């Protein structure tokens, strides 16, 4: 995996490289990634440096299994935001977008696909009888306006503001509390994956399959649901 074609080192990071990058960021702060390779003396591209810091070296990164409430929140946020991994990760303290993406792709996507297949089979008979009277509306990720506060990190957790607590006065205060209310019983049981309660996922995924907004509903309708 390693390579130095074009003079830039690739592949897995060594302990020495990690130390150099950590020292550099601690000295100069995050940002100005194009200067980091020069400042640190690393023979890496700026992208590689940034990614290594964000996904691995950053001090507040939480490693290990996702707890049940983290998975719960992830599923709901994914339903709401689609594959906006950075936004989802921003609401899971200590988790990186790469972590969230990997977890979704390895653990949840397969289950979602599986459930969709099962649901499709179960729905075949029903659809044959209801096709004439029901319009089929496919679940699609919401395309949200960039100006929407949720996409601008205004609901981010911080030391002064509680997790998910709204900073703006847009009327979506404490949006995430209601996001979790529906399955509160699952939150109280916060065993860790893997080896945890997988029935919880099944419930969540069934919930997902049935809870996409229908045509004509607004986003606020969906949130209130």
Footprint of DNA (CB under 7 A)? 1, 9-13, 31-34, 44, 46-48, 50-52, 55-56, 83-87, 97-99, 101-103, 105-107, 146, 194
**Nearer Cβ to DNA (183/219):** 219
**Nearer Cβ to DNA (44/91):** 44
**Nearer Cβ to DNA (105/220):** 105
Q: Least distance (Å) from DNA to the CB of residue 103? A: 6
**Nearer Cβ to DNA (107/116):** 107
Q: Least distance (Å) from DNA to the CB of residue 213? A: 20
Helix/strand/coil (H, E, C) string of the chain?
CCECHHHCCECCCCHHHHHHHHHHHHHHCCCCHHHHHHHHCCCCCHHHHHHHHHHHHCCCCCCCCCEHHHHHHHHHHHHHHCCCHHHHHHCCCCCCHHHHHHHHHHHHHHHHHHHHHHHHHHHHHHHHHHCCCCCCCCCCCCCCCCCCHHHHCCCCCCCCCCCCCCCCCCCCCCHHHHHHHCCHHHHHCCCECCCCCCHHHHHHHHHHHHCCCCCCCCHHHHHHC
Q: Least distance (Å) from DNA to the CB of residue 84? A: 4
**Nearer Cβ to DNA (110/131):** 110
Q: Least distance (Å) from DNA to the CB of residue 209? A: 20
**Nearer Cβ to DNA (52/91):** 52
Q: Least distance (Å) from DNA to the CB of residue 85? A: 3
Question: Packing angle between helix 199-210 and helix 68-81, nearest 10 degrees?
Answer: 20
Q: Least distance (Å) from DNA to the CB of residue 219? A: 18
How far is residue 135's CA from residue 123's CA, in Å, rounded to a whole number? 14
């Amino acid at each position: 995996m390693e390579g130095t074609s074009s003079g830039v080192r690739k592949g897995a990071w060594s302990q020495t490289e990690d130390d150099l990058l950590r020292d550099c960021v601690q000295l100069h702060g995050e940002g100005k990634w194009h200067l980091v390779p020069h400042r640190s003396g690393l023979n890496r591209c700026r992208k590689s440096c940034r990614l290594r810091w964000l996904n691995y070296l950053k001090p507040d990164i939480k490693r290990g299994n996702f707890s049940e409430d983290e998975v719960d929140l992830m599923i709901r946020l994914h339903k709401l935001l689609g594959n906006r991994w950075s936004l989802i990760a921003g609401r899971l303290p200590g988790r990186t977008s790469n972590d969230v993406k990997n977890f979704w792709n390895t653990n949840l996507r397969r289950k979602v696909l599986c459930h969709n297949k099962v649901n499709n089979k179960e729905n075949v008979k029903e659809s044959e009888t209801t096709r004439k009277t029901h319009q089929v509306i496919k679940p699609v990720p919401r395309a949200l306006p960039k100006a929407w506060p949720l996409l601008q990190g205004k609901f981010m957790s911080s030391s002064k503001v509680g997790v998910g607590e709204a900073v703006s006065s847009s009327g979506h205060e404490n949006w995430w509390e209601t996001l979790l209310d529906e399955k509160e019983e699952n939150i109280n049981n916060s065993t860790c994956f893997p080896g945890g309660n997988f029935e919880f996922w099944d419930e969540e995924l069934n919930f997902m399959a049935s809870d996409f907004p229908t045509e004509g509903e607004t986003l606020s309708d969906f949130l209130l649901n």
